[in-house]
Chains A and B, each alone.
Chain A
Amino acid sequence: MIQFDQVTKRYPGSDEVLKNVSLNIDAGEFVFVTGHSGAGKSTLLKLIAATERPTSGTVLIANQNVSQLKASAIPFLRRRFGLIFQDHKLLYDRNCFENVILPLRINGIFGQEAAKRVRAALDKVGLLHKEKAMPITLSGGEQQRLAIARAVVSRPSILIADEPTGNLDASYAADIMAIFYAFNQVGVTVIMATHDALGMSARQNRVLHLNQGKLSENISTAESFAS
């Protein structure tokens, strides 16, 4: 589903953020990307989400070479993803319902069908009763759940989350993680950048560890990661 072949990324005026990264993520996997701040986690996710292009090497997403895609084709590639950001990127000038419906509008889904899907997404993250609330009135955890609802409402096959639990305390973080696991259970590929071991619980997960732009891979549990 996602293939990196000897991918190097360098921003103008900086060192190589990613060095010679090769990886392969299959459909339905749950993958953690770990590493210190500045190790290149966010850059890796941006390359997957096609918001950045590699300096060299190839990035294949669903057998499409991102570097060779026309600019006009990129939006349609992005619609395959659900993106979740550490800072939520919610729109504070509209209520929860309006926030979640945005991807559907972009996908050209309107009316009753759209409303039904928005409520289903809000229900999945436990925010159905806050439909009319403004995002600013929600707690940090609720805001992140709202962001997840927005990411999943258009039923993407891949969820990409950049430190979704970074700003949350432990109990909220566990809530969020449970939601991601639930989506993974129904076949959604989840790629999550994180620097805290808490989220990873006791399950066995594939972990892509980045250290100064270099990738090492291992299957990890919370115990081995903490050590």
Chain B
Amino acid sequence: MSNWLNHQLQAIRLVLARMQDNFLSSFMICLVIGVAMCLPSLFYLGVDNLSKLTDHMQNETEISLFLKLDASKSTVSEIDALLANNAAIKQYHFVGKDEAWEQLQARSKESNEVGDVINQLGKNPLPDAFFIQAKSSDPETLEALRSELQNTPGVEQALLNTEWAKRLSTLLSLSKKLIFFVASLLAVVLLVIIGNTVRMQILTQKDEIEVSYLIGATRSFIRTPFLYAGMLYGFFGGILAILMITGMIQTFNYSVSQISHLYSSDFSLNLLNGKLYLSVIVSAVVIGWVGSYIAVTRAIASIKIH
């Protein structure tokens, strides 16, 4: 056991020393890995934050229930009772047609053109309306509630204000699938890059491999340092990727906070996404291991000792 551990430590030390000797080229490889890891991560972060934003918006949505223009007072109170008894509704409020008309007129005074048009209308075109907030924020439940209300007698139209948010979130889930494919493609690219790098190293250390073989080294003894090399490339590449992502989020957040300030929201990108960072590093290390394993197995098979 301690022998095994010693061997692993020895191999890691050897690989780190070699990386230090060829610092610039090792750094370049790590940089390539970092950039390749960075792209899908940023994409993911963007989509993830956007979908959080739309969730947020969907939470705030309400159903607007417009009654028929000729709805009588009794119809209004019937619907009022119906809404009060509906278990899916958190709260609602009624805006009568006269109240709405006054609000519209008051608001339109600020703009002359709109004010003129409204004055020309002469009589009130607005219906009575209920504005309803549901308990659930789930789009499908909301949609069910909407169609239930739509079928209530005396209702002209029930409008769900989340239509656009729903479309956006559908688009976002599509983007999430796209990320998966982009990430898979980049993983293949990384496999090839790391595999090739390790293959080049094997070529430069062909003598050592040959001599080790003759002296009685096992395959795993020869393989171990190269596997660590691949894993360490992945590890350092992953760390570079995280540094780059953090840097970019920092700059982004500056502009994002300006924008969200304009919309009086406190939205900003999450800087410490531990899960993402961990998965970046773990996947980079795994890709490094697989890439070098393939390369070293192929290379060992091709090195013949005579």
Contact = CB atoms under 8 A, between A and B. Distances in A.
A and B bound? yes
Interface of A: 46, 49, 51-52, 72, 75-79, 81, 83, 89, 91-93, 102-103, 105-108, 110-111, 150, 154
Interface string B216-228: 1111010000000
B306 A46 contact: yes
24 contacts: A49-B214, A51-B306, A52-B306, A72-B219, A75-B218, A75-B219, A76-B218, A77-B216, A78-B214, A78-B216, A79-B216, A81-B216, A83-B214, A83-B215, A89-B211, A102-B212, A106-B215, A106-B216, A106-B217, A106-B221, A108-B6, A108-B7, A110-B10, A150-B215
Nearest to B7: A108
Contacts of B306: 46, 51-52
B110 interface: no
B207 interface: yes
B216 A89 contact: no
Closest 3 CB pairs of A and B: A78-B216, A79-B216, A108-B3
B48 interface: no
Contacts of A52: 306
B305 interface: yes
A59 B228 CA distance: 38
B7 to A, nearest CB: 7
Contacts of A150: 215
A94 to B, nearest CB: 9
A75 B216 contact: yes
A89 B212 CA distance: 10
A78 B208 contact: no
Interface in B148-194: none
A52 B217 CA distance: 16
B18 to A, nearest CB: 9
Contacts of B3: 108, 110
Contacts of A107: 216
- Name, among A76, A91, A150, the residue most crowded by chain B CB atoms within 10 Å (CB to CB): A91
A189 to B, nearest CB: 17
B55 interface: no
Contacts, number: 56
- Name, among A46, A77, A78, A106, the residue most crowded by chain B CB atoms within 10 Å (CB to CB): A106
Contacts of B210: 89
Interface in B191-250: 207-208, 210-219, 221
Interface residues of B, number: 19
B211 A105 contact: no
A78 B214 CA distance: 7
Interface of B: 3, 6-7, 10, 207-208, 210-219, 221, 305-306
Contacts of B216: 75-79, 81, 103, 106-107
A50 to B, nearest CB: 9
Contacts of B207: 89, 91-92
Nearest to B215: A103
Contacts of B6: 108, 110-111
A150 B6 CA distance: 21
Given A89-B207, A91-B207, A102-B211, A75 B217 contact: yes
Given A105-B10, A106-B221, A51 B305 contact: yes
- Name, among A75, A83, A108, the residue most crowded by chain B CB atoms within 10 Å (CB to CB): A75
A150 B212 CA distance: 11
A92 B226 CA distance: 20
- Name, among B211, B221, B305, the residue most crowded by chain A CB atoms within 10 Å (CB to CB): B211
B301 to A, nearest CB: 12
B214 A51 contact: yes
B258 to A, nearest CB: 55
B214 A105 contact: no
A126 B207 CA distance: 25
B224 to A, nearest CB: 11
